[in-house]
Amino acid sequence: MPQPGTPLFLERRSYRVRRVMDAVRLLPVLGLALWMVPLLWPVADPLPPVQDGAATPVSMSAALTYIFGVWAGLIVLCLLLWSRARRIPPDTAPSGQG
Amino acid sequence: MASLNTLIAVCLIYVAFLFGVAFAAERAGIRGRAGWLLRSPLVYTLSLSIYCTAWTFYGAVGYAARSGLEYVTIYLGPSLVMIGWWWVLRRLVRIGRSHKVTSIADLISSRYGKSNTLAIVVTLMAVIGVTPYIALQLQSVTLSLSIFASAEGAATRIDSASSALWVAAGLALFTVLFGTRNLNANERHHGVVIAVAVEAVVKLVALLAVGIFVVWGVAGGLPQTLARIDASPIGTWQMQGSRWAALTVLSAAAFLCLPRMFQVMVVENDDERHLQIASWAFPLYLMLMSLFVVPIAVVGLDLLPPGSNPDLFVLSLPLSQGRDGLATLSFLGGFSSATSMVIVATLALSTMVSNHVVMPIWLTLRTGGATQSGDVRDVVIFARRVSILVIIALGYVYYRASGGSGALAAIGLISFAGVAQFLPVTLGGIFWRGATRMGALVGLGTGFGLWVYTMLLPGFGAGAILPAGVIDAGPWGISWLRPQALFGVEGLDPTVHAVLWSLALNSLSFVVVSLVTFPRPLERLQGAQFVNIFDHSGQARGWNASVAESEDLMIMAQRILGAAEAQSLFQSEARRQGLSGHLPEPTPKFVQGLERELAGSVGAATAHAMIGQIVGGTSVSVQDLMAVADESAQMLEYSSQLEAKSRELSQTAAQLREANEKLTELSLQKDAFLSQISHELRTPMTSIRAFSEILRDTEGLHPEEKTKYASIIHVETIRLTRLLDDLLDLSVLENGQVTLNRQSGALSDVLDHAITTAQASTDGRIAIRRSRGNEAVMLQTDLDRLSQVFINLITNAQKYCAADAPALTIDVARDGGAVVVDFIDNGSGIPAQARQVMFEKFSRLGLQDNKGAGLGLAICREIMHRLGGDVVYRTGTGGTAFRVILPQAQSLAAQ
């Protein structure tokens, strides 16, 4: 429920600011999800595979590329959001959670 | 081969350089210069890099060589925390700044009612938790020195114990010199921060240099390196999922809770906006630091003889390739990592120890209490210096005790898990108002106990402290109490096992005890302020200071802040209060502010206790809390009342303006009418006078002439009478003196009569269209008056309709229960601005003619009001249209 005195709908600019902040809030969730993907990868099994065609383990270079790729992507996104939020003057930025 | 002596010389020069930088920064900070550098987001981000210690620098490669990509979890957790700065760090920094928090122990104690017990517990836990970490740094520096020594040959064997001792002594000296120079508010240390930032650059450059050398110098390029990685012993993804997830969580928790991280992230933070920049810059730093770890590990495993310590590949790899310069740079990088961590960690810990352990004890021992004279600052600074020495000594002892043998990564994880126990209490404190002090104490105790039992003690090795039998079979043979298989859960990785049980039971007991206990008033007050930090950053009042003597407060403040600073603080407050002397009135607000100033130097709990000694115990009661709540509720209500009133006022003002406009217009109309009525009266009067004079004075008039003149006089008199009748009629109607003569009749008859009358009085040039079918309505009203209204409307249409072939449509319809009669002509309509006033008396549209006095419509409306109906102007018909509304009671449906 909106507090008295705060508008229910915003003009375009403030609306944009709030959506940028939403993205900032959700970014770590995205990062966590992507970095937990390796949990699903097949692991080299010390026992011989029971059946043929069992998934081959992921190679280290692929794993490295994936993890560092996610890392770089998150940093770039975070940088973009920061520069986006910075261009908007602070007095129009919402103080609440909006 | 770089000789050991050269290395030590380089090292000393580097340390001297750091001393110089720290000294210059300290000087610049005091003079207020170079603020742009000292308070830049770059320095803030770089200072965060003390997260990357020697464990990162050396240990990560060793970690990767032993267990593949697992090392990266240690950096993923903090990256997520930084990217998600909005959730937790933003709150922590705001709380730290507005409550002048000096350490993580201060934060926790302050949140839970400025409890000193809690502060002591957290401090002890932090010291125990961080000691292995300090030992790890000493170990890594010693190990790296020994690599150079062994490379030089057996002739210069170095004694690892004594070299560790020297390193420890040097670090202690640096920390004492720059960490305890001032007892500044907010505990900011420009010298240390800038030195840490420089070291951050050195270690990054060193690690990147080694990485680039390995990838492009040794392996021969990126594709070759990747191929080599896939062909190596760690060439496939081998990871226990539980470890991957648990270590990520653990490192994120430790990143928030490590005392040194709290120091640089929250306490040394100058500007909250720096946090946003660090949110992408610091993950970038972490990524660069861990980028070349796997290539170095793989190439090291490949090239170096089996059995070499993988923790030192960063050094031994360049050495084996004959790159002494690179090896020296790498050594400096490792040295930087170790020293910056030890300095900041001991600084943070010593602040905690002196504020939360030494000061309270000292205050209790000195029975004179806070009012006693004498400078406390010396005591605090001395306590800090001693604490620094003790903490570094503890690290050294741990190093000696653990034999300097364990892998770096394992030691680091033990430390991480120890400090991570602060996480539930910290997060609970800033997000949940229901968290209580008892809950925090029990939670911390449970978590810490489990950590010691399942991780720290077994970490020394079986038989060192815990007998091997206990580890294998449990104490007294109780198998479900085995330290590495609690409650019979076997098969878990020991680290995951310890982290899982300690954090889970920690959180559980914290929440459960918080739920069943009741917080003290101060806890509730602080809890509300911490959780709602963004709603009201202002401090609620806490002291009832009327009993406090300003002089006592002054004496105490001088002892902590120093004489000059305390005096200027008191003087400025006195000026603010408008007093001429040096001592202000001890208003609650002032005492609150003073407590916060003191908290910046000695911590919240101690400051609270000291003020409490003077003011006389904590004064916050439940009544006070209620009063605070009441006050804000009242303010809220008052402001909403004000808002409503101002809205009402602006509405009234608008109405008044409207009324004023109407009045002005009416007054103009009245003036116009008066001149009009004089004209109207004068014209007939003039002709009456003229013709009567002719009749009287002229002899010999023809009888026809006499008749003619007399009839002119007669007509003019009738005209006058009609005018006066109208005025009288209106006045009677308005005064409500009219008596209605109710009869029943058909609407069509009334209309017939009205039309006949209206057309008889004029030439009847207007064509009238009627729909007789709808007119079969029986009425029960004053038919004569109604007929008068109709006549008026029809006459108006006849007079004013400007069309070439004027036509008037009379339409009868039912609208709800009422009967409406519309009079619509095909004229030009009435302009919008005239519609407002056309029913007013004396209102005439424009200057059309002088036939009417502007009373017709006013009379119509008055009559209709008397009859219980209305007459309104209808828009949107194309011409002038009036609607006469007859209410239901007066219209009886024709049978």
Which CATH number goes with the domain that contains B191?
Answer: 1.20.1730.10
Whole-angstrom Cα distance, residue B537 to residue B94?
Answer: 9
Predicted confidence (pLDDT) per residue in B859-874, tens digit: 888 888 888 888 888 8
Cβ-contact B142, B135 below 8 angstroms: no
The rounded average pLDDT for each run of 10 residues, N- to C-terminus, in chain B (895 residues) is 73 85 78 68 88 84 85 91 88 84 87 86 88 84 79 56 80 77 58 85 91 88 86 79 88 90 84 86 92 89 82 86 86 86 84 83 66 65 86 86 64 86 92 90 92 82 68 70 73 83 93 91 82 63 56 74 77 79 74 76 71 61 59 76 91 93 86 75 82 86 86 85 80 75 84 83 74 81 85 83 83 82 84 77 59 74 85 82 76 48
Question: Do B568 and B442 lie in a common domain?
Answer: no
Question: Do B157 and B263 lie in a common domain?
Answer: yes
Tell me the CB-side half-sphere exposure of residue A54, using CA atoms within 13 A. 11
Phi, psi of B882, rounded to the nearest 5 degrees: -120, 145
The DSSP element (H or E) to which B746 belongs, if any, is: strand B743-746
Q: Assign B236 to helix, strand or coil.
A: strand
Query: Measured between beta carbons, which residues in chain B are less than 8 angstroms from residue A58?
Result: 236-237
Q: Is B284 touching A (CB cutoff 8 A)? A: yes
Predicted confidence (pLDDT) per residue in A74-90, tens digit: 999 999 988 887 765 54
Which of A63, A71, A86 is facing B283, going by the closest CB pair? A71
Question: Do B698 and B776 lie in a common domain?
Answer: no
Return the ∠ at Cα B711 (arms to B705 and B713), rounded to 5°: 105
Helix B588-602 to helix B550-561 angle (10° resolution) is 20
Query: Could you tell me the residue range of the domain that residue B53 belongs to?
Result: 4-357+373-404
How sure is the predictor about A49, in pLDDT bands with cuts at 50, 70 and 90? Answer: very low
Closest Cα in chain A, distance from residue B802 (Å): 50
Size of interface A-B (CB pairs under 8 A): 105
Query: Which residue bears the tokens 């209309």?
Result: B751
Q: Determine how β-strand B767-770 pairs with β-strand B807-815.
A: parallel
- Cα distances from B729 to residues B268, B355, B733, B740, B782, in angstroms, run 89, 96, 6, 13, 15
Question: Do B397 and B425 lie in a common domain?
Answer: no
Query: Measured between beta carbons, which residues in chain B are less than 8 angstroms from residue A67?
Result: 69, 72, 76
Query: Measured between beta carbons, which residues in chain A are less than 8 angstroms from residue B80?
Result: 28, 31-32, 35
How sure is the predictor about A95, in pLDDT bands with cuts at 50, 70 and 90? Answer: very low
Question: Do B794 and B855 lie in a common domain?
Answer: yes
Predicted confidence (pLDDT) per residue in B578-635, tens digit: 777 777 777 777 777 777 777 777 766 677 777 776 765 545 555 555 666 666 677 7
Question: Do B611 and B648 lie in a common domain?
Answer: no
Q: Is A32 touching B (CB cutoff 8 A)? A: yes
Closest Cα in chain B, distance from residue A12 (Å): 23
Q: Is A70 touching B (CB cutoff 8 A)? A: no
In a domain, B177, yes or no: yes
Question: Do B445 and B332 lie in a common domain?
Answer: no
Residues forming a β-bridge with B892:
B778
**Residue of chain A minimizing CA distance to B281:** A75
Structural tokens at position B257:
């809770």
Phi, psi of A97, rounded to the nearest 5 degrees: -85, -20
Report which residue type is found at B268.
E
Closest Cα in chain A, distance from residue B239 (Å): 7
Burial of B744 (0-12, 13-18, 19+ CB in 10 A): exposed
Question: Do B450 and B387 lie in a common domain?
Answer: no
Q: Count each helix (H run) and each strand (E run) in chain B, helices first.
A: 37, 8
Which of A31, A44, A82 is facing B80, going by the closest CB pair? A31
What's the CATH code of the domain at B812?
3.30.565.10
Which DSSP string corresponds to B419-484?
Answer: HTTHHHHHHHHHH-TT--HHHHHHHHHHHHHHHIIIIIHHHT-TTTSS-HHHHHH-GGG-GGG-TT
What's the CATH code of the domain at B660?
1.10.287.130
Closest Cα in chain A, distance from residue B542 (Å): 27
Question: Do B463 and B490 lie in a common domain?
Answer: yes
Question: Do B439 and B315 lie in a common domain?
Answer: no
Cβ-contact B438, B425 below 8 angstroms: no
Structural tokens at position B249:
């969580």
User: Please, which contacts does B221-225 make with residues 24 or more away whose CB atoms are closer than 8 Å?
Assistant: B225/B295, B225/B298, B225/B299
Which of A36, A75, A95 is facing B284, going by the closest CB pair? A75
pLDDT of residue B209: 92
**Cβ–Cβ below 8 Å for A32 and B245:** no
Whole-angstrom Cα distance, residue B802 to residue B741?
Answer: 36
In a domain, B585, yes or no: yes
In a domain, B364, yes or no: no
- Cα distances from B441 to residues B219, B436, B745, B881, in angstroms, run 54, 9, 94, 84
Quote the ipTM score: 0.84
Query: Measured between beta carbons, which residues in chain B are less than 8 angstroms from residue A66?
Result: none
pLDDT of residue B511: 94
Sign of CA dihedral B754, B759, B762, B767: positive
Which DSSP string corresponds to B331-364?
Answer: HHHHHHHHHHHHHHHHHHHHHHHIIIIIHHHHHH
**Cβ–Cβ below 8 Å for B235 and A27:** no
Which of A21, A35, A58 is facing B237, going by the closest CB pair? A58
pLDDT of residue B275: 87
Question: Do B444 and B341 lie in a common domain?
Answer: no
- Cα distances from A29 to residues A22, B79, B83, B384, B724, in angstroms, run 12, 12, 10, 41, 88
How many independent structural domains does chain B possess? Answer: 5
Predicted confidence (pLDDT) per residue in B378-428, tens digit: 777 888 888 888 888 988 888 887 765 555 667 778 888 989 999 999 999
At which of B538, B566, B593 does a domain end?
A: B538
Q: Is A46 touching B (CB cutoff 8 A)? A: no
Question: Do B392 and B438 lie in a common domain?
Answer: no
In a domain, B669, yes or no: yes
Whole-angstrom Cα distance, residue B149 to residue B155?
Answer: 9
